[in-house]
């Protein structure tokens, strides 16, 4: 069995961190397509040679940087679907308004349209961002708040889709009124006590 505890080497860590930080900065400022290795090297002070020592290609670096984009979301537990949804959507709206990754997403979607590796990264990102929604809806189903036959994915598509639509398509303000309207509509649409269609 080989030595498992490898020595980190400060220099490597330092270079990697500087490169990733600058990549992240350019990413959120210029979008995925307009990130340049030369510019990363210039701005970060890390030699281009060193960059290619740690990442085999530009694509690898970009995918590595992108996969660290989304933050970890706290899953609320207010014991009601309405409360949980409001918390989740308020947080998501806040991030869409202020977080830097919000400006990067379209360029990722664009690249994912034609690049398999990017598509896989985007799928993983999407899964991790949306998992709190699945959990919240499953718990609501367990409490009998929504029809057990309703597919949670449809609900997720409507509530998350509404926010994404406002952020990138209609450019409508992502304020409290909007979030509340979405929450109320979603809760009312699939509450278990409404007459079956």
Judged by the rule CB under 8 A, the positions of this chain that interact with a second copy are 30-34, 103, 106-107, 109-110, 112-114, 123, 126, 130, 151, 153-166, 168-172, 178, 181-182, 184-186, 188-190, 194, 197
The whole-angstrom separation of Cα 23 and Cα 17 is 10
Tokens of 187: 């809760």
Q: Which residue stretch of 13-21, 95-103, 124-132, 142-150 sits at the interface with DNA (rule: CB under 7 A)?
A: 13-21
- 15 or 23, CB closer to a second copy? 23
Q: Which residue stretch of 34-42, 129-137, 143-151, 185-193 sits at the interface with DNA (rule: CB under 7 A)?
A: 34-42
Contact (Cβ atoms closer than 8 angstroms) between residue 35 and residue 27:
yes
The correct pick among 47, 78, 188, 194 for binding DNA (CB under 7 A) is 47
Number of residues that bind DNA (CB under 7 A): 27
Rounded to the nearest angstrom, the gap between the alpha carbon of residue 45 and the centroid of all alpha carbons in its chain is 29
Is residue 12 part of the contact set for DNA (CB under 7 A)? yes
The correct pick among 20, 27, 32, 35 for binding DNA (CB under 7 A) is 35
Is residue 45 part of the contact set for DNA (CB under 7 A)? yes
**Rg, Å, the chain Cα set:** 21
The whole-angstrom separation of Cα 174 and Cα 46 is 39
- Give the DSSP per-residue string, 126-187: HHHHHHHHHHHHHHHHHTT-B-TTS-HHHHHHHHHHHHHIIIIIS-----HHHHHHHHHHHH
Is residue 8 part of the contact set for DNA (CB under 7 A)? yes
- 10 or 177, CB closer to DNA? 10
Within 13 Å of residue 157, how many CA atoms lie on the same side as its CB?
5
Q: Which residue stretch of 37-45, 125-133, 166-174, 178-186 sits at the interface with DNA (rule: CB under 7 A)?
A: 37-45
Contact (Cβ atoms closer than 8 angstroms) between residue 183 and residue 91:
no
- 35 or 187, CB closer to DNA? 35
Q: How far is the CB of 56 from a second copy (least distance, A)?
A: 22
């Amino acid at each position: 069995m080989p030595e498992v505890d490898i020595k980190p080497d400060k220099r490597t860590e330092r270079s990697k961190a500087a490169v990733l930080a600058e990549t992240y900065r350019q990413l959120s400022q210029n979008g995925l397509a307009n990130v340049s290795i030369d510019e990363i090297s210039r701005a970060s002070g890390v030699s281009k040679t060193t960059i290619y020592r740690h990442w085999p290609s530009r694509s690898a670096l970009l995918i590595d940087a992108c996969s660290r984009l989304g933050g970890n979301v706290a899953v609320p537990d207010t014991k009601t679907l309405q409360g949980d949804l409001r918390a989740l959507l308020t947080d998501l709206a806040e991030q869409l308004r202020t977080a830097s990754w919000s400006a990067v997403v379209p360029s990722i979607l664009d690249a994912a349209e034609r690049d398999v590796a990017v598509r896989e990264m985007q799928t993983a990102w999407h899964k991790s961002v949306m998992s709190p929604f699945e959990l919240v809806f499953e718990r609501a189903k367990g409490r009998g708040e929504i029809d057990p036959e309703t597919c949670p994915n449809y609900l997720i598509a409507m509530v998350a889709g509404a926010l994404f639509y406002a952020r990138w398509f209609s450019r409508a303000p992502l304020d409290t009124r909007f979030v509340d309207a979405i929450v109320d509509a979603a809760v009312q649409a699939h509450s278990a006590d409404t007459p079956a269609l």
